[in-house]
């Protein structure tokens, strides 16, 4: 492996000539750039093998099946999943949450949801509510934190089929006490479905220790894979209905019913082979460097957080500096709207940051920013100190 | 030229490609000559890939697979063409 594969690229390497972006601070939306090993893995899948996996048994198809097998094993090992067959490749975390929610909840069931959820949860729940699922909410505090005791009370209030909660907020960066939430939900007889879009790669995620019944992850954020691929863990003892049926290359092809064996039951249709190749490479890369990446992400996130507060006029959402958070910092300014700030950062400084509601109006309502939205900086494996200092200088120049 | 002696194989079928490839790994880890092949129709409802071993390794292969977490969906004897 060359040094360019193992080290974050320098700032000039990350300058994007096509867009003028020189400082990328939107890792919470998607990580960029991708490591060279991810690019290479996608390229190899597209050029050196890539037969339809699990269908034919000729060398190109077996090679693709082998790559998917190896990627699944790598992801399972990284995430603490004992049996890789319980880890499903899907198009992303959104599909994973849809599968878990719609596959486990039926009309008449009650689900307890947290007020900080992303639209990947809010919209499926709204759809389910229109079909007779009862949705009750647990409110966060002003920092976006969900109190496990509040979850416990909500579960105790009425028979509950499931609790759904994020592991970390894409708006406030708040890390939820997910293990405690799982414990109180299970004690009350409820399943637990977790949205792990912001946690994978940025936090140590051990699914055996967490104990959730379903846990969905984005493949293209902290796990550094390409867009269009994600993961869903399903505990061995639950059997959600599959969202779609179709060819799997397995089961009795002459029968019209979907096979029940995992992972095939939930992976109908030709899989996203290049995406899975890239995700497998991304997970191996993260695993190799995770201690360095996380320490640096946390250090730079704190520097950005404190630096923004030093400028004045800003409110930072979520936990205080030094308290646990995933590597994102969302802010509002007393005078200038978030969308204007984002526009000026992009046009004047080539800084990519995201303004608005971040597909999470529930979360913004919970912390009081639904009307104005916020400006979010998402840090990741490629973020350099100079990126943070450039952003701080730009914010100071724009606002003072 | 005398006709080649037909070779006999044991063929194992699996519910999924994942299981078939896991079986290939498990068998090769025990130095058995496991080869992925297109699943013969005689194996019935299994995935598109089956794993073949020489018939003299069949007993050892059954032992290895039985001691793993891999479920063998079906088994057949196959004569090489």
Q: Does residue A13 carry a pLDDT above 70?
A: no
Q: Does residue A272 carry a pLDDT above 50?
A: yes
**What's the CA gap between A321 and A310, in Å, rounded?**
12
Q: Nearest by CB to A65, which of B15, B49, B69?
A: B49
pLDDT < 50: residue spans in chain B: none
Give residue-wise pLDDT tens across range A61-108: 999 999 999 999 999 999 999 999 999 999 999 999 999 999 999 999
Contacts of B67 (CB under 8 A, 6+ apart): none
What the block records as the tokens of A316 is: 């930072």
Asked if A251's CB is within 8 angstroms of B49's CB, the reply is no
**What's the CA gap between A329 and A338, in Å, rounded?**
13
Total residue count of chain B as it appears in this document = 81
CB distance from A95 to chain B under 8 Å?
A: no
What proportions of chain B, in percent to the nearest 5, are helix, strand and coil?
35, 30, 35
Q: Nearest by CB to A53, which of B17, B22, B46?
A: B17
Q: How confident is the model at residue A4 (pLDDT cuts 50, 70, 90)?
A: very low
**What's the CA gap between A98 and A134, in Å, rounded?**
16
Nearest to A391 by CA among A356, A354, A358: A354
Give residue-wise pLDDT tens across range A349-400: 999 999 989 999 999 899 999 989 999 999 999 999 999 999 999 999 999 9
Of A51-65, A80-94, A125-139, give the lowest mean pLDDT range. Answer: A51-65
Contacts of A272 (CB under 8 A, 6+ apart): A89, A91, A228, A229
8 A C-beta contact, residue B34 and residue B72: no
Q: Which residues from chain A sit within 8 angstroms of residue B36, using beta carbons?
A: 57, 62
Q: Does residue A9 carry a pLDDT above 70?
A: no
Nearest to A169 by CA among A380, A7, A378: A378
CB distance from A372 to chain B under 8 Å?
A: no
pLDDT at A15: 67
**What's the CA gap between A227 and A193, in Å, rounded?**
23
8 A C-beta contact, residue A140 and residue A369: no
Q: Nearest by CB to A250, which of B17, B36, B37?
A: B17
Domain residue ranges of chain A, discontinuous segments joined by +: 11-35+289-399, 41-282
Architecture label for domain A41-282: 3-Layer(aba) Sandwich (3.40)
Shortest distance between the Cα of A109 and any Cα of chain B, in A, equals: 32
Give residue-wise pLDDT tens across range A150-175: 999 999 999 999 999 999 999 999 99
Catalytic residues of A: 359
Using DSSP, state whether A164 is helix, strand or coil. strand
**What's the CA gap between A80 and A211, in Å, rounded?**
10
Q: How far, CA to CA in Å, does A311 sit from each of A13, A389, B3? A: 29, 12, 88
Q: How far, CA to CA in Å, does A128 sit from each of A94, A131, B8, B80? A: 15, 5, 56, 55
Q: Which residues from chain A sit within 8 angstroms of residue B46, using beta carbons?
A: 250
CB distance from A271 to chain B under 8 Å?
A: no
The β-bridge relationship of strands A110-114 and A162-166 is parallel
CB distance from A53 to chain B under 8 Å?
A: yes
pLDDT at B1: 53
Residue of B nearest to A88 (CA): B18
Shortest distance between the Cα of A82 and any Cα of chain B, in A, equals: 11
**What's the CA gap between A215 and A162, in Å, rounded?**
13
Give residue-wise pLDDT tens across range A235-264: 999 999 999 999 888 766 677 889 999 999
**What's the CA gap between A351 and A3, in Å, rounded?**
26
Chain B residues 12-31 within an 8 A CB cutoff of chain A:
15-22
Contacts of B59 (CB under 8 A, 6+ apart): none
Q: Nearest by CB to B15, which of A72, A83, A250?
A: A250
Contacts of A247 (CB under 8 A, 6+ apart): A55, A253, A268, A269, A270
Q: Kindly report the CATH number that applies to the domain delimited by A11-35+289-399.
A: 3.90.1150.10
Long-range Cβ pairs for the range B39-42 (8 Å, 24+): B39/A57, B39/B13, B40/B11, B40/B76, B40/B78, B42/B76
**What's the CA gap between A192 and A210, in Å, rounded?**
10
Q: Which helix H or strand E contains B36, and what residues bound it?
A: strand B35-38
Average pLDDT, chain B: 90
Shortest distance between the Cα of A72 and any Cα of chain B, in A, equals: 9
8 A C-beta contact, residue A34 and residue A41: no
Shortest distance between the Cα of B37 and any Cα of chain A, in A, equals: 6
pLDDT at A12: 44
Q: Which helix H or strand E contains A67, and what residues bound it?
A: helix A59-79
8 A C-beta contact, residue A85 and residue A263: yes
How high is the ipTM of this complex? Answer: 0.85
pTM of the complete model beyond 0.90: yes
Residue of A nearest to B41 (CA): A252
Q: Within 10 Å of residue A271's Cβ, how many Cβ atoms?
A: 21
Q: Nearest by CB to A57, which of B15, B44, B49?
A: B49
Residue from B23, B25, B48, B51 whose CB has the most chain A CBs within 10 Å, to mutate: B48
Residue from A49, A55, A57, A76 whose CB has the most chain B CBs within 10 Å, to mutate: A57
Asked if B47's CB is within 8 angstroms of A264's CB, the reply is yes
Q: What percent of chain A has pLDDT over 90?
A: 86
Using DSSP, state whether A315 is helix, strand or coil. strand
Chain B residues 52-81 within an 8 A CB cutoff of chain A:
69
pLDDT at B43: 85
Asked if A261's CB is within 8 angstroms of B16's CB, the reply is yes
């Amino acid at each position: 492996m060359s040094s360019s594969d193992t080290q974050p690229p320098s700032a000039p390497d990350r300058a994007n000539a096509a867009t003028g972006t020189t400082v990328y601070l939107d890792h919470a939306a998607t990580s960029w750039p991708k490591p060279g090993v991810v690019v290479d893995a996608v390229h190899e899948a597209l050029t050196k093998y890539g037969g339809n996996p699990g269908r034919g048994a000729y060398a190109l198809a077996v090679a693709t099946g082998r790559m998917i097998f190896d990627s699944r094993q790598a992801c399972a090992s990284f995430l603490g999943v004992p049996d890789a067959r319980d880890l499903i490749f899907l198009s992303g975390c959104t599909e994973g949450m849809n599968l878990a929610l719609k596959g486990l909840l039926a009309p008449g069931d009650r689900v307890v949801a947290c007020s900080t959820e992303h639209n990947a949860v809010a919209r499926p729940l709204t759809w389910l509510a229109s079909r007779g699922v009862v949705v009750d909410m647990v409110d966060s505090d002003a920092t976006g934190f969900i109190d496990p005791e509040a979850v416990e009370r909500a579960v105790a209030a009425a028979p509950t089929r499931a609790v759904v909660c994020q592991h970390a907020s894409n708006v406030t960066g708040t890390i939820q006490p997910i293990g405690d939430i799982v414990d109180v939900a299970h004690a009350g007889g409820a399943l637990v479905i977790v949205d792990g879009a912001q946690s994978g790669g940025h936090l140590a995620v051990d699914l055996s220790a967490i104990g959730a019944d379903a846990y969905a992850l984005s493949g293209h954020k902290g796990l550094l894979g390409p867009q269009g691929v994600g993961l869903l863990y399903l505990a061995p003892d639950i059997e959600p209905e599959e969202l779609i049926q179709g060819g799997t290359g397995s089961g009795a092809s002459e029968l019209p019913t979907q096979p029940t064996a995992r992972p095939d039951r939930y992976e109908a249709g030709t899989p996203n082979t290049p995406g899975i190749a890239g995700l497998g490479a991304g997970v191996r890369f993260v695993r190799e460097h995770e201690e360095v990446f996380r320490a640096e992400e946390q250090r730079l996130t704190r520097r950005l957080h404190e630096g923004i507060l030093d400028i004045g006029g800003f409110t930072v959402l979520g936990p205080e500096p030094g308290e646990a958070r995933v590597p994102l910092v969302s802010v509002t300014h007393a005078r200038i709207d978030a969308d204007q700030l984002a526009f000026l950062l992009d046009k004047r400084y080539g800084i990519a940051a995201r303004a608005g509601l971040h597909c999470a109006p529930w979360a913004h309502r919970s912390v009081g920013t639904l009307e104005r939205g916020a400006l979010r900086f998402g840090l990741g494996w490629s973020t350099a100190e100079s990126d943070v200092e450039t952003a701080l200088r730009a914010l100071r120049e724009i606002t003072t | 030229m005398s006709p080649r002696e037909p070779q006999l194989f044991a063929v194992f079928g699996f519910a999924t490609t994942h299981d078939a490839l896991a079986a290939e790994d498990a068998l090769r880890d025990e130095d058995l000559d496991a080869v992925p092949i297109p699943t013969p129709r005689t194996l019935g409802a299994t995935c598109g890939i089956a794993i073949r071993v020489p018939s003299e390794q069949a007993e050892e292969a059954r032992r290895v697979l039985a001691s793993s977490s891999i479920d063998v969906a079906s088994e057949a004897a196959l004569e090489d063409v």
